Amino acid sequence: MKDRAEKLMNAVYLDSEEQKNKIQNTRKAFTEVTAFVLENMKDSREKSLTLIKLEEACMWAIKGITRE
């Protein structure tokens, strides 16, 4: 059980070029979507929530890549 808990709490960075490229492409894609939101939405609660959720989704996507 402790091994599983440690695995869940620790991201593993393989330092491989493939992993680095996936992370870079993920960040690029989320940056493009974020720029679209910033340019096309008026300042509002909805815009703020959208930006927060994009940041969170990017984090989870990268964490998923590190666990492949």
pLDDT on residue 11: 61
Q: What is the pLDDT of residues 17-51, one digit of tens each?
A: 999 999 999 999 999 999 999 999 999 999 999 99
* Predicted structure pTM score: 0.79
- C-alpha separations of 46 from 29, 41, 49 in Å: 21, 9, 5
For residues 65 and 24, give the distance between their C-alpha atoms in angstroms, rounded to a whole number. 11
pLDDT for res 48? 97
Residue 56 burial (C-beta neighbours within 10 Å; 0-12, 13-18, 19+): exposed
Find the distance separating the first CA and the last CA of the chain, reported in whole Å. Answer: 20
